[in-house]
Structures are given as C-alpha cells and as structure tokens.
Amino acid sequence: MSGRTAIVIGHGMVGHRFVEALRARDDADAWSVTVLCEEELPAYDRVALSSYVGSWDAKELALAGNGFVDDAAVDLRVGVRAESIDRAARTVTTSDGDVLGYDALVLATGSYPFVPPVPGRDNDHCFVYRTLDDLDDIRARAEAAGPGAAGVVIGGGLLGLEAANALRQLGMAPHVVEHNSRLMPLQVDEGGGGLLARLVTDLGLTVHTGTGVASIAPGPAGVQVELSDGEVIDAGLVVFSAGVRPRDQLARDAGLDVAERGGVLTDIGCVTSDPAVFAVGECAAVEGQCYGLVAPGYATAEVVADRLLGGEAVFPGADLSTKLKLLGVDVASFGDVHATTPGALEVVLSDAAKGTYAKLVVSDDARTLLGGVLVGDATAYGSLRPLVGSELPGDPAALISPAGEKPGAGSLPDDAQVCSCNAVTKGEICAAIADGASDLAAVKSCTNAGTTCGGCLPTVKSLLAASGVELSKALCEHFTQSRAELFEIVRATGTRTFSALIARYGTGSGCDICKPVVASILASTSADNVVDGESSGHVLDGEQAALQDTNDHFLANMQRNGTYSVVPRMPGGECTPEQLITIGEIARDFGLYLKVTGGQRIDLFGARVEQLPQIWQRLVDVGMESGHAYGKSLRTVKSCVGSTWCRYGVQDSVGMAVRLENRYRGLRAPHKIKLAVSGCARECAEARSKDVGVIATENGWNLYVGGNGGQSPRHAQLLAGDLDDETLVRYIDRYLMFYVRTADRLQRTAPWVESLEGGLDHLKAVVCDDSLGIADDLEAAMAQHVAGYRDEWAGVLEDPEKLSRFVSFVNAPDVPDPTVGFDDSGPRKVPVMMGVPDVPGRRQER
C-alpha cells in the first residue's frame, strides 16, 4: 500500500487530470489518492456539455478511465462531498460522516454559475447551465413549454450561446440577453461581435445586446422577463449563463487565504497559504488570478502532480486562446484580442457577403503578431495562433486574405506553442518525432499535444509530414482504414449496416465523421444487392437512417429558417407542360418561392418538413423524381440546346445530357457531382467548370474531367477527344466509379485528380488504357447502379414507417414549427424566424 495519502476534493476535468498525472508519474507508488466526487457521475467532459442535448447519453461524455477500476491506489467516492477541512489535524470530514486523513490536500472544487440579483430569479422556471442534471431539468421544462416557446438566456458569452443552441435543439425560440454591446465580449472585438450577432440571428436566435434583465415574474407561458430597456418577453424558461465564480467557501471556512475577487489564493506552484494544501482549476487564484478555461486548469494539475513527487514545477502562464464552433459558426481568438499593447496596430478584413471577419493585432512596426480574431472562418487559427509573440513570416494582410499565402508549420519558431491546452511547443513535438514518434498517436502519447480539444492536430500532422513521416490514412479514431479501404471492405464482405461494420472492423460507437461516410458507402454499394431489378437498400432503411445528416435524413436541403427546398430532377433541363403546371400549382398551394437555377431546373423553397411528403406525392404522380440536391451525389447535367435547335451545334447535347443524367442519377459519392454537355466549342453549358464536362466536336465528343466551381474553382482537363457516344459513356462510367471508390471523404473531383500519384496522366492510363486491369469491374459496378436505381422519394411515399419521420416535433407530430415564417413585403418572398427581428440591410445582403 502507498505510504502517503492525497485527498482530492472535486472530480471534474481538472481534478481527474491531476489524478491521472500523479498516477502516471508515481512509479514508486508513493501516494494513494482518495477522490471525493460530489456529483453522482464521475468526471465527464464539461467542455462538450452541449453535445449531451440530443443523445441524452451521459456515457458519451465520460472521461477515459474516470472510474479508476484497475488502479488500487485510487479510491473514488461518487456522490460524496467534503463538508469541512481540519487543517491542524489534516483531516477532511465527508457528507457520509467519514473523517479522512491526508498528507496533501488538493482543492479541485471548480466554480459555480453566477446568478445576478434579479428580482424573481428564484422562480421554478429559472435554471443554470453547468451540469448534466441542469440539462435534464432544462429539457423537462422545455418539453412542458411546448414547441416554439421562447427561452431566455441571460448572458451572451461562450456558455450563453451554447445554452441558446441547446434551447434551439429542444424546439424553443431562444433569446440571448447580453449587457455588453456585443456577444462574447471577452473573446471578440466589436467587429467580430457584430458579425457573430448577425450570423446567429440568421440561425434563429434573437439577440438583445446593451441591455439587462430588470425582473422575472410568473407569466402565461411560464415567466415574463422584463428587460432594462422595457421590452417584455413571454418565455417558457430562463437560463442564467452570466459567468462563473470560484467555489472557495470550503477554503474560506478552513481559514485559507482567498484572493481579493475570490478564489483560493496560491503561489506559482499552486500552493495555498497552507503548504499541505494545493488548489487547481477554476477555484485556484494563481497569484490572485482565476482562469476559467480548461487549458490553464490542466496546467495547474500538472504542476501539483510534479510538486507532490518532489519537483519544482511552476504555473507557466495561461494561453486564453479559443477556437470553437457555435451554432455552426466558427469563432476563434488568440493573444491580445483588444489591442491593449502600447502601439499595437490592427489589420482587419471583413467580408459581409461571405459572412467572415478577420483581425490581426500586430506590433507598431507590423512585424510581430500580438493577437487576432476570426469569425465565420477560423481555418487560419492553427497556423496563426502559434505565431503570437513571434516575427511574422509575411504581410499581415496576406495572412488573413483568402488569396494570400498562409504560413506553414515549418515557419514556426521552435518555442511557438502548438498545443495551447497542454502547453506543447513545436520544438517538443519535433523532438518527439526525432526520438521515434512515427505517427499521430505516438506524438499525442509522448507530448499530450492534440489530446484535449484537437484544434492543433492539423499543425501536428504538418510537422509529421515535414519530418518525412507517412501519416495514417485512418478515417477517424473509430476506423484505422481509409475511406477507400472501407469501401472495398463493404463491397467485398457484403456488410449492409454500420453496426456490423464497426463491430468487425472498427472500435467504439462511431462519430460524426465515420457515420455519414459509411452511410454514403452503403448507399453507393446498395446496387451490389440487386434483387429482381431493384436495389435492396434505401438511405432511410433501418439503422442507416440514423447515420444521415439533416439534409439526407429528410431528403431535402434545410434552409436558413428551418424550412426545406424541393428540387425535382429535370434531365437536361427538359420538362413536360404537365410537370411545369404541377410545379406551379404546388408553389401556389403551399406558398412556396420558385427559383430557376443555373443547373437548369426549378427549385421550390419554403416547405415545412411535414409538407414534404404531400408535395412529393404530387410530383411523383406526374413522373418527376428527386433531384438529389440534398445528397453527396449527382446533382445535374447542364446542357445547351445543341444541334437540335442551335445553328452552331454539331451534336445533340440535350439528348446526351438526358442520357447521362438518367444513367448517373442517385449515384452516391464522396462529394456532389455536376456534369455539363455543350453542343459545340462555343461552350454555352460551361462544361469545363464541371466534374465531368462534355464538349461536342465535328467527330464526336471531347471529355474533360476534374473541374469544380465553388470556393476554389478549377477548370476541367481534357481526358480524351473525339469520342463516339458509347466510348464516351464507357469512359465516364470508369472515371466516376474510380472516383467513388478511391476518393477521401468530402473530396471533390478536382483535388482528387490532383492528389493521384501521376495526376491526370495516371487517370488517363486507368480510364482510357485500363492500366490497372479494372475497367470491366468499374463498368460492371456502374451497370449495377443503373439497374438498381429507384427514386428515393417514391420509396418513402410507399413506406408508412419512413413517412412517420417527416414531422417538426417528434413529441407533437401534428404541430407545425411555429418559428417558421416569411416576409412578403419586398419584391420577393424571403425566410425569417418568427419573433426574430430583421436587421437593416439584411435583404440586400441575401
């Protein structure tokens, strides 16, 4: 048995990290540890608290090894709190009456939510947002309030916005009240806060900044919240998320020194005024300063573990950098966000049309990076944050410009901190690689880099690649195989469910990376199981339905106000008079907005989820099919009118476009696919901007591949020329099926072609010359797809179980979403969230 005893009061993330660090380093088993966990559950990931909403499975948030079941030196007492500390006797009295002795006491009591002294704050409809139990209580009240009820969140910081998103997921209409002039005032500046407010408003939140809450009183919906500007909100509940305060009462009662603004006062070694007592995490005021982020909390845990084993570690300071996604909006900040350094200059790039804001704070000579803010697009965070305090590798404006060259990992100095959560520098990572850490898992194990939030992993991978290490092609932590390898496994074994695949070839329960990928693979290979001319699989069959994202789950694209678009297929842009009339009647009867698209079809916008089956029944009745606008699959085959009508046309482009669209409709792929056919070299169908472009010649067709529009446009490249109809189709069959089988997840054809060893030349050899001897197999697979195709919406309409999914609220299937609304006052119909005020100029921005 260990000779000395440590008691840890609190088993949150930091308390758990301390125990892990101590046990990992205590080779001589010098210490035994008793952990008092006040909650009924041991340590869980409080940073990911919002992910509990929807799954309602606490096990998914549990920290690895939080039960210490294999460690006899750790005594974890769940549901037991510390009542008092006797420093003279060095004992702790627990809530179940035990008196425990200690040689070292570690306070990891964390913090508690601050509830402002608002009249009515004790109302039963008021909650805080801190624990799993809090979320369970909020859920119960939200369900009682009913779909569409307002929910008020007091506090517009990070946790406040997460709480608002939780209410939104529970079917409520969230209002966020922030007394500062902007959201997330600690993390972002006025410009970033302004854009953030606009983006989250577009997503359904009502934002009240520059105001507070005057009172809370009982009301018809539950509570009436009166704001300091006089506005009154009838709400179903209120959530306080106005910051936290350190839980230091136990320390105060024991006579320990506390900081002026609260928190257990410690030195840089995390030692309190009693040398036998330490404090870590949010309850610790290191030299008078409390830190509310997990990274500095982990740093304090490491310091105390080192001290108990005879070391002299000190708190290294706190990196308060933040990178997160709030309601789908990227937000990041690092360093001197508010330009408080004397002489600091600000370089700002704001693009209202794209919804992005970027600011760098630099020294007065514009050579040293001091900090920055990124809203809307935080992809530069990984390369910029480690440069704080270092000389910039180029022009500051170029570093945040979409067209500018971004600094690579190699340009970072060795002392640049790559992993802020665990204070790991580039030099430490490179040293681990030099010492034999030959993959990402080894680097994480040696350095702890990337083991907390994961935001630094792209930089770590870059350092591995720069060192000549071959990176793992694992799809995610649950599958060591690449997407292409999983595709071949599914195809070879005939596996038809995610659960069977992960049980045999993976680990764990899956994630939001591997589940949609496997769903796509299963859809792509469903034609391999054709019975009597029909595929045996549908994307909404059985457990496969649970793998789909929102768009595929409802076979429609969700729009900004929670409604959906309906996009029937029009091969080659053709449409019969009866079909066109039906589309018009549907738009009139359901109040939908019509738009003729660049893909030569008609989109209908504004359908509520429960209306989708009714609309599609009428479309199917006149012979129309799903246009797959929602899926990673073939979208459209655009065409000009070709030789049938045009005096310049040399081939029948419409006929070929119709043939290709009917052949490849429903083909699931790593990303969306677009084709076009032009009837002559005048290129009216813009074929060279498509994944597959076909351009007529006097002698047949030229085939172009690997073109993409979008954020990074690419012109397609000529694969083969002057092809007859049958050879053209055969080459496209091979090309598309080769792409479907070998591309990475979410990889479009342009970067896929570029990633192939040998590039276009290799692709020509495979597709045109059959250099790999797989041409027959690729063609047979495409023939199976064609034979097994069945319209997905027709399959839904014939199946009552699938139809039952199309409701706004599972617990109230007959209730339409009351937050959905439209503004018809302008020249066109536009979507709005009911109860969400419009922003001046928003319509122009749309």
Domain residue ranges in the chain: 4-111+246-308, 126-242, 321-407, 409-470, 483-548, 551-740+765-788
| CATH code reported for the domain at 4-111+246-308 | 3.50.50.60
Q: Does the 409-470 domain belong in CATH 1.10.10.1100?
A: yes
Residues 136 and 41: beta-carbon distance below 8 Å: no
Task: Look at residue 380 in the predicted model and tell me its pLDDT.
Answer: 81
The pLDDT score that the predictor gives to residue 215 is 96
Output the pLDDT for position 2: 56
Which of these, 490, 484, 488, lies nearest to 526 by C-alpha position?
490
> Rounded CA gap, 519 and 103, in Å?
55
Burial class of 10 by CB neighbour count within 10 A (0 to 12, 13 to 18, 19+): buried
Rounded-to-integer distance, Cα 290 and Cα 279, Å: 11
Within a 10 A sphere around the Cβ of 210, how many other Cβ atoms? Answer: 12
C-alpha span between 386 and 582 (Å, rounded): 58
**Contact (CB, 8 A) for 357 and 350:** yes
Specify whether domain 126-242 bears CATH 1.10.10.10: no
The reply to whether 126-242 shares the fold of 4-111+246-308 is yes
pLDDT of res. 130 = 92
Tell me the whole-structure pTM to 2 decimals: 0.56
pLDDT value for 318 = 77
Find out whether 384 and 368 touch, Cβ atoms under 8 Å.
Answer: no
pLDDT of residue 20: 93
> What does the alpha-carbon distance between residue 351 and residue 846 come to, in Å, rounded to a whole number?
13
Handedness of CA 478, 479, 484, 486 (dihedral sign): negative
Low-confidence ranges of the chain (pLDDT < 70): 1-2, 325-328, 402-411, 420, 452-455, 458, 469-472, 527-537, 543, 545-547, 549-550, 710-712, 809-815, 819, 832-846
Please tell me the predicted confidence (pLDDT) of residue 437: 81
Binding residue ranges for [4Fe-4S] cluster: 640, 646, 680, 684
How many Å apart are CA 721 and CA 728, to the nearest integer?
A: 9
| Residue tagged 């089956």 (tokens) | 613
At position 11, the amino acid (one-letter code) is: H
Region of 95 please: left (phi>0), alpha (psi -120 to 50) or beta.
alpha
Distance CA 604, CA 692 (A): 26
* Cα-Cα-Cα-Cα dihedral sign, residues 476, 477, 482, 483: negative
Q: H/E element holding 93?
A: strand 91-94
Residues 148, 169: Cα–Cα separation, whole Å: 11
Superfamily of domain 551-740+765-788: Sulfite Reductase Hemoprotein, domain 1 (3.30.413.10)
Whole-number pLDDT of residue 55: 79
Number of residues that make up the chain: 846
Which residues are annotated binding-site positions? 640, 646, 680, 684
Q: Give the SS3 label for residue 74.
A: strand
Which residues contribute to the annotated binding site for siroheme?
684
What's the fold here for domain 321-407?
Enolase-like; domain 1 (3.30.390)
Q: Amino acid identity of 701?
A: W
